[in-house]
Amino acid sequence: MKRILIIDDEVNVALLLSKFLTRNGFDVSTASSGTGGMEALKNGEFQLVLCDFRLEDTDGREMLRNIKQQYPKTGVIIITGYSDIKMAVELIKMGAYDYITKPLYPDEILNTINKAFETHHALVEVDEEPQAAIVPEKAKASKDTKKTVFASEFVTGTSKASRELARQIELVAPTNYSVIILGESGTGKESVAKSIHLNSPRHNQPFIAMDCGSLTKELAASEFFGHEKGSFTGALYTKIGHFEMANGGTLFLDEVGNLSYEIQAALLRTVQERKVKRIGSTKEIDLDVRIIIATNENLQDGIQKGRFREDLYHRFNEFSIYMPPLRDRGHDIILLAEHFLKIANQELGRNVESLSQEVIDCFMNYRWQGNIRELKNVMRRATLLTEGNEITLKALPLEMSTYKLSYEPSSHSNGHHSSTHTEVPEVKENRHDLKNAALEAEYETIIRVLREVNFNKTKAAEILNIDRKTLYNKMKAINLK
């Protein structure tokens, strides 16, 4: 029998909770003070303690500390009077399994308790395994590697905006809060979602990213909830949905603003009930998934126009993070550029060392509509095009060189400004010139294909459907040979 101890000095609350949990099959005892609670723990074995944060003789923090010290295997859920993210972080860091806020909703309590028991059960099993010492170590090593690899790929930045972003990630990561990440395309929303996951207690569970922007109405339900073989025409195999895949971990939903109203309703139901059923199945699967969503449009606007459900928005919006556009991240632009230069050097077997002052000026003043993703592409391409040690304006896309003509170099331009104009490739100032656009597209395609085939020109020519000689000529024309 699963044993629970409720510690609450509001006797009526304790009694009601006790009755409700007993009806649901638990063996429940109650205590009305901290001292009484510790006494009860001494006399009986409890797997779980539900403890009110405010007690007459002590508080939840103190109780948690004592219980964790004396009964480390006992799970603790704290009941608090109000939702306070700082406190949630602190309690979870101290080892609380979770916390519930008042007013108490029976379903929510039961869900949290059931989840806690599942985890508790798993822990006991690991402890009792003969190779217990090896299993957790292995698990720890792999999750630590994941974290380390990600940390080496993620540039935190030093600008005010980046420091604030880092602070918010640190604050929300350890909790179970749903998070909305708002920001322009390419600002790093998915990277931040991953960072939250990897810094949360779920870090060794799956992180599943789902691009809702590309989902058709027909496919969406299947993608979210999965389906059984034969449940509709075309369902040739059983498919596991993204909710199920992410179970225990984090589900990241990108571009949620594009989901149809029906799917939004189904999503809300699943999130509320914490259960999922594959299409064509009657079996309900319990879910424990943290949801992080991203959008580059204003969801409030979607709500007003009746395109996005307000209840779903509030369900997701337990915490929101605003991603700064790259152009507002000051010197981070250069830190990121240098980071991408290092990666491109490794990928392309190059040894390009730095950016010229003109390139730095251009980067600091450019609009970066594609944000970090655009910078990453620009750096990859510039590294490929650079023969010497330093990336110069010549290696930047036409669009950027043209853009350069419209900005005033910043004060740290080092006096090299006058020479830059001779280095700028011949481009028309009209950015919408169709010929430029066509050239640009051709350029991008050639580089992409060359990379895909590891710079094998015969293969590249085949894919591009041109003869080798034409490819050579084109490569020469764009400085690639």
Ligand X SMILES: Nc1ncnc2c1ncn2[C@@H]1O[C@H](COP(=O)(O)OP(=O)(O)OP(=O)(O)O)[C@@H](O)[C@H]1O
Q: Which residues bind ligand X (CB under 6 A)?
A: 153-155, 183, 185-191, 254, 294, 296, 339, 372-373, 376
Name which of 78 and 294 has its Cβ closer to ligand X. 294
At closest approach, how far in Å is the CB of 186 from ligand X? 5
Name which of 183 and 249 has its Cβ closer to ligand X. 183
Rounded distance between C-alpha atoms, residue 474 and residue 468, angstroms: 10
At closest approach, how far in Å is the CB of 250 from ligand X? 14
Residue type, 77: I
Q: How far is CA 259 from CA 182, 274, 423, in A?
A: 16, 20, 47
Rounded distance between C-alpha atoms, residue 98 and residue 64, angstroms: 11
Name which of 24 and 156 has its Cβ closer to ligand X. 156
Q: Could you give phi then psi for residue 233, rounded to 5 degrees?
A: -60, 130
At closest approach, how far in Å is the CB of 73 from ligand X? 39
At closest approach, how far in Å is the CB of 374 from ligand X? 9
Name which of 173 and 294 has its Cβ closer to ligand X. 294
- How do strand 48-52 and strand 75-80 relate by DSSP bridges? parallel
Rounded distance between C-alpha atoms, residue 245 and residue 268, angstroms: 18
Name which of 289 and 293 has its Cβ closer to ligand X. 293
| Strand boundaries in 65-206, DSSP class E | 75-80, 98-101, 179-182
Name which of 33 and 191 has its Cβ closer to ligand X. 191
**Do 341 and 377 touch, CB atoms closer than 8 A?**
no
Name which of 110 and 161 has its Cβ closer to ligand X. 161
Name which of 37 and 188 has its Cβ closer to ligand X. 188
At closest approach, how far in Å is the CB of 80 from ligand X? 33
Q: HEC profile for 260-301? A: CHHHHHHHHHHHHHCEEECECCCCEEECCCEEEEEECCCHHH
Name which of 194 and 274 has its Cβ closer to ligand X. 194
Q: How far is CA 187 from CA 129, 178, 337, 369, in A?
A: 45, 20, 14, 9
At closest approach, how far in Å is the CB of 343 from ligand X? 9
Rounded distance between C-alpha atoms, residue 435 and residue 186, angstroms: 27
**Do 289 and 312 touch, CB atoms closer than 8 A?**
no
* C-beta nearest to ligand X: residue: 188
Rounded distance between C-alpha atoms, residue 304 and residue 130, angstroms: 58
Q: Which residues, including other chains, have CB under 8 Å from residue 20's CB and lie 6 or more apart? A: 106, 109
At closest approach, how far in Å is the CB of 390 from ligand X? 22
At closest approach, how far in Å is the CB of 93 from ligand X? 24
At closest approach, how far in Å is the CB of 256 from ligand X? 11
